[in-house]
Each structure stands twice: as structure tokens, then as C-alpha cells.
């Protein structure tokens, strides 16, 4: 008999006094963990199939279920935690690379949680955001170095194309294919309502979503899936994806099982074939090569749209950003190592890249030092979790942030980190029609609008507390930040003082 080395990580604990054997949990679990046993008229659960997504818990009408961490324990060993042992058993059994999804869950420092905001007291009084106008609108794109005037003294409009956003937030790149049609529709409609932008990711643009083009960033990745002239012209901006925080240095892979129907048509690849984006763009090996692609895309869109270059936050990010700012790009997007993904090798997700807070502070400082900060706007992503993270990112030098995981959580994601299986019980990271239907885009749209409306109020409150009435005045204003429990080097890189100074 084969030995089972792996024990279930979670247990579905059922209160049989409450269970009415309605079998809702059985119908809701795409992993087929729950089962009805006629003999005895009762439910049982195969805990080994549970990924802890909470779908059955949320839909159990009698609150009979809870998911618990399994009580099985390995002998205490600080050097060999249970997860490491399990992973070795798994790889010894499969011979395969470990795959995961969403963001890096490891216990690295979260610098946003070690930075505090200032508030006005006595002098420079605070502003009441309920009674005074507060400006959260931002414009993304290159800014001219000088104002030019004609012979009559009138200002010449030499402003390159700009993106106008009601608040410094955009939905980050999530491709149709990695997430469902209904998730994309929710994001697109929310972006229109909020006056911000969402991002196609590398999967092309479904024909139904061309009508949201004015609120869409269209992405061009190394696989060039779904890229054609109409696609480039449809969006408000074009983003070249050079890297992604969840998997710096490697390409993308959407398994053939997700390349079905409209996903295959939108990507312009056959059904069932794996969509593999190469690690590098095969025509880019230098900043000069990147510049050629930037200008090719500008040419293709008649110089009417800003071009974004997205990179992962890696060790030499400041030098890379300096090159991008000189490449003709209008916006740099930097994705930190906690950024989400639909699928990534676990080792890459958890061990490659650097925190976005350090990357952002370093890039903003370097571009200022080199006198080229106005060449580009800076957008950062990689686990922006709240309005406070946004305010801190802006004060560290960002013009805007990308949010991905937070938006998916608003749609119902429970961070089970199983997107790579394609069986998302919440209808988000799946193409299985009966699962996709579980996410109602009307409700998804409303929840996203609610989330960002609430965040906008909170941003205004924090700005008001600091005596600042325009988000532009907060940009790079590190005097508004203080560190707690950070060492000299960390404070130096962040460009902030310690609390108490």
C-alpha cells in the first residue's frame, strides 16, 4: 500500500447539531471536498482537498461549518518547519516545480507598517475635508521642463499626453484568462464610474470591453497576445510589461485548460494551447531597444497616449528606472515583491525581488538627483492594502498606485492562493462557466466603487489632518513621514526621520 506522506493542511469542522444536510457545501466546493453519505444521512469532508477558500463556510445556511488549521504537528524544529517538510514530500512525489498564486506570504518586513504619518497641531492648522475642498485628482505623464510662450506671450500647450485620474489609484494588470469575464467587467465598469483606469494585463481586450477604452490601460507583454492596431488604439495608455513583482526575471504561463472560448479568441491563440510569455522581450536587450519599442507604440498610437513601462522591483531598480526615464516612456510602473499573480513558481514568488517601499524611495530620489523626475510619473504596486498605504506611497514619491489583490478581495477573493488550479470558488480566477457565474458583475462593480469611495474619503481625512488640501502637495513630501523601529540604513534609503526626531 502506498504511503501518504502529506497530511491535510486544513480541516472542515462540521457542527452536526446544526447541519441540516442541505448539501449546499457540496455544491459550492469546486474541489469536491464535501460529500453526502446516504447511509446515515450525513455529510463528510475529504480535508485533503480543502484549500481554505471559505466558500462553503460563507454559504452554509446554518453556520454549521468552520475551517481550522489541521492539528497534525511535526516534531518542533525551528530549522525544518512543517511547510518545508511538506514541500519536500510534494516535490519528491511529483518531480515538479512548486506553483502558487497571489502575493508573497512570507514574513518579510512590511515597511508601510513601520512608517507613521504626521498631523497638524496648533500651527499650520489641519483642514476639515467635510467643509473645505480637497483635491485628489492626479495627472500621469511626462511634464515639460519649462513653460513656452508664443510671440504674444500666450502659453504654448507643449504638454505630452496625460492620464487624468480622480484619485491616485488604478487597478493593476490582470488578464482576461487569468481572471474571469465577470471579474474584468466589474473592474472595467468600476474604473469608469470612479474616473480611474483598469488594465488588460497580457491577455488582450475582449471585444465587449472596447467600450470602456477611455478607462483602460492596454498591455503589451513579451508574448504579444492579443496585440494589434485596434487594441493599441482602444486604450487610454499603453503599458509595456518588462517585469512583474510576483515573478521577476521569468515569463508568464497560462495553462491550456484556461485557454478556452473567448479567452483563446482574445489572445489570438488556439484553444487548449498553453499561453507562455517568454522571460525577456526577444527584441529588447538594452535601454536603446526599449526606446525603440516605446517610440514604435507612440507612432502606432499617433503620439496621443502615454506609454507606461512596468518593471519588477529588483536590486538595481534605481539604475533601471533612470534608463527608462530617458527612454521616452511617460510613466514607470514598479511592482514590489509582494505583488499578486495568477500563477508563479513558489520559490520565485517568495524569494526574488525587493519591497516596493524601498524601491520607490530609491527611484524617486535618484530621478530627482539626476534632474529627470519630471520626465516620468511613478506608479507603484505590490500589496497596497489600504488608503494609509496609498498616502504613505505618495509621500515617498509615487504619483499613483496600482491595486490588484485588494480589488480581488473586494470581489470576494479569500486569498486561498489557489488561482493556478483554475477552480476559484468565488468566480474570479476561473474560466469554468458555472464558477464564473458566482461573481455577479453588478455586485462586483458596486463593491469596487464602495471600496475606493471609502478610501478616497480616508485619503482626504489624512491629507486634511496634515494640513494639505491637494494630493500633489503630498507627493514626495517625506517630512510627513516618520519611521518606527527601523535602522539607520533603512531610514536613509526611505529618506525619512525616526519617530521622535
What is the binding site for ligand SF4 (CB under 6 A)? 12, 14, 19-25, 28-29, 31, 33-34, 43, 50-56, 60-62, 64-65, 67, 101-102, 408, 413-419, 424-426, 428-429
Instruction: Find all residues with CB under 8 Å of 130, minimum gap 6, and list them.
Output: none
- Beta carbon nearer to ligand SF4, 28 or 175: 28
Q: Give residue 146's region: left, alpha or beta (phi > 0; psi -120 to 50).
A: beta
- Beta carbon nearer to ligand SF4, 309 or 408: 408
We find the least distance from the C-beta atom of residue 314 to ligand SF4, in angstroms, to be 25
Instruction: Find all residues with CB under 8 Å of 322, minimum gap 6, and list them.
Output: 366, 367, 370, 372
Nearest of 171, 186, 178 to residue 439 by alpha carbon: 186
- Beta carbon nearer to ligand SF4, 188 or 462: 188
Phi and psi at 468, nearest 5°, equal -115, 130
Cell numbers for 469, please give them: 488640501
Nearest of 42, 16, 45, 11 to residue 31 by alpha carbon: 45
- Beta carbon nearer to ligand SF4, 31 or 375: 31
We find the least distance from the C-beta atom of residue 437 to ligand SF4, in angstroms, to be 14
Cβ(313)–Cβ(356) under 8 Å? yes
- Beta carbon nearer to ligand SF4, 432 or 499: 432
Residue 430 pairs in a beta bridge with: 423
Angle at 146 between CA 141 and CA 151, to 5 degrees: 120
We find the least distance from the C-beta atom of residue 390 to ligand SF4, in angstroms, to be 22
We find the least distance from the C-beta atom of residue 490 to ligand SF4, in angstroms, to be 30
- Beta carbon nearer to ligand SF4, 35 or 458: 35
Cβ(186)–Cβ(440) under 8 Å? no
We find the least distance from the C-beta atom of residue 58 to ligand SF4, in angstroms, to be 9
We find the least distance from the C-beta atom of residue 178 to ligand SF4, in angstroms, to be 9
We find the least distance from the C-beta atom of residue 425 to ligand SF4, in angstroms, to be 5
Nearest of 367, 356, 296, 363 to residue 326 by alpha carbon: 367
We find the least distance from the C-beta atom of residue 366 to ligand SF4, in angstroms, to be 35
Q: What torsion, rounded to 10 degrees, do the Cα atoms 329, 477, 215, 455 define?
A: 150
Cell numbers for 27, please give them: 455544491
Measured between alpha carbons, how far is residue 278 from residues 60, 157, 271 in Å? 43, 40, 19
- Beta carbon nearer to ligand SF4, 247 or 392: 247
We find the least distance from the C-beta atom of residue 60 to ligand SF4, in angstroms, to be 3
Residues 427, 435: Cα–Cα separation, whole Å: 5
- Beta carbon nearer to ligand SF4, 101 or 431: 101
We find the least distance from the C-beta atom of residue 408 to ligand SF4, in angstroms, to be 5
Residues 371, 385: Cα–Cα separation, whole Å: 31
Residues 425, 441: Cα–Cα separation, whole Å: 15
Residues 302, 219: Cα–Cα separation, whole Å: 17
Residue 401 pairs in a beta bridge with: 169, 380
3-state secondary structure of 139: strand
We find the least distance from the C-beta atom of residue 42 to ligand SF4, in angstroms, to be 9
- Beta carbon nearer to ligand SF4, 56 or 448: 56
- Beta carbon nearer to ligand SF4, 427 or 464: 427
Residues 105, 338: Cα–Cα separation, whole Å: 8
Residues 344, 248: Cα–Cα separation, whole Å: 10
- Beta carbon nearer to ligand SF4, 432 or 493: 432
Q: Give residue 374's region: left, alpha or beta (phi > 0; psi -120 to 50).
A: alpha
- Beta carbon nearer to ligand SF4, 260 or 372: 260
We find the least distance from the C-beta atom of residue 156 to ligand SF4, in angstroms, to be 49
Amino acid at each position: 500500500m502506498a504511503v501518504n506522506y502529506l497530511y491535510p493542511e486544513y480541516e472542515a469542522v462540521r457542527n452536526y447539531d446544526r447541519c441540516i444536510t442541505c448539501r449546499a457545501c457540496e455544491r459550492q466546493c469546486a474541489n469536491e471536498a464535501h460529500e453526502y453519505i446516504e447511509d446515515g444521512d450525513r455529510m463528510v469532508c475529504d480535508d485533503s482537498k480543502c484549500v481554505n477558500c471559505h466558500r462553503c463556510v460563507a454559504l452554509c445556511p446554518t453556520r454549521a461549518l468552520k475551517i481550522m488549521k489541521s492539528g497534525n504537528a511535526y516534531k518542533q524544529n525551528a530549522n525544518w518547519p512543517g511547510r518545508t517538510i511538506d514541500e519536500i514530500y510534494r516535490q519528491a512525489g511529483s518531480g515538479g516545480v512548486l506553483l502558487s498564486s497571489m502575493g508573497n506570504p512570507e514574513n518579510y518586513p512590511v515597511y508601510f507598517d513601520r512608517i507613521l504619518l504626521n498631523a497638524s497641531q496648533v500651527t499650520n492648522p489641519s483642514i476639515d475635508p467635510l467643509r473645505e475642498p480637497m483635491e485628489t485628482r492626479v495627472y500621469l505623464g511626462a511634464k515639460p521642463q519649462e513653460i513656452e510662450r508664443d510671440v504674444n506671450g500666450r502659453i504654448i500647450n507643449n504638454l505630452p499626453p496625460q492620464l487624468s485620474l480622480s484619485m491616485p489609484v488604478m487597478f493593476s494588470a490582470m488578464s482576461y484568462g487569468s481572471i474571469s469575464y465577470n471579474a474584468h467587467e466589474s473592474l472595467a465598469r468600476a474604473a469608469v464610474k470612479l474616473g480611474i483606469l483598469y488594465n488588460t494585463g497580457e491577455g488582450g481586450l475582449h471585444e465587449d470591453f472596447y467600450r470602456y477604452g477611455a478607462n483602460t490601460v492596454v498591455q503589451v507583454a513579451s508574448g504579444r497576445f492579443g496585440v494589434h492596431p485596434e487594441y493599441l488604439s482602444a486604450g487610454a495608455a499603453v503599458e509595456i510589461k518588462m517585469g512583474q513583482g510576483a515573478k521577476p526575471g521569468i515569463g508568464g504561463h497560462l495553462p491550456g485548460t484556461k485557454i478556452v472560448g473567448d479567452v483563446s479568441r482574445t489572445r489570438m491563440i488556439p484553444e487548449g494551447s498553453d499561453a507562455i510569455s517568454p522571460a525577456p522581450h526577444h527584441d529588447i536587450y538594452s535601454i536603446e531597444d526599449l526606446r525603440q519599442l516605446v517610440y514604435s507604440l507612440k507612432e502606432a498610437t499617433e503620439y496621443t497616449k502615454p506609454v507606461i513601462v512596468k518593471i519588477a522591483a529588483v536590486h538595481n531598480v534605481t539604475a533601471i528606472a533612470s534608463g527608462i526615464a530617458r527612454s521616452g516612456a511617460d510613466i514607470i510602473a514598479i511592482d514590489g515583491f509582494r505583488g499578486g499573480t495568477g500563477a508563479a513558481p513558489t520559490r520565485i514568488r517568495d524569494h526574488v525581488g525587493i519591497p516596493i517601499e524601498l524601491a520607490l524611495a530609491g527611484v524617486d530620489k535618484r530621478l530627482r538627483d539626476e534632474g529627470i523626475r519630471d520626465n516620468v510619473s511613478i506608479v507603484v504596486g505590490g500589496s497596497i492594502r489600504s488608503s494609509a498605504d496609498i498616502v504613505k506611497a505618495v509621500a515617498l514619491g509615487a504619483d499613483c498606485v496600482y491595486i490588484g489583490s485588494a480589488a480581488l478581495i473586494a470581489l470576494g477573493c479569500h486569498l486561498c492562493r489557489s488561482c493556478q488550479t483554475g477552480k476559484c470558488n468565488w468566480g474570479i480566477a476561473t474560466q469554468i462557466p458555472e464558477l464564473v457565474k458566482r461573481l455577479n458583475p453588478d455586485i462586483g462593480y458596486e463593491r469596487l466603487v464602495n471600496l475606493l469611495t471609502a478610501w478616497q474619503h480616508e485619503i482626504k481625512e489624512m491629507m486634511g489632518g496634515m494640513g494639505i488640501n491637494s494630493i500633489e502637495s503630498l507627493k514626495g513630501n517625506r517630512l510627513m513621514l516618520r519611521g518606527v523601529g527601523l535602522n539607520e540604513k533603512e531610514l536613509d534609503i526611505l529618506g525619512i526621520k525616526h519617530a521622535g526626531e
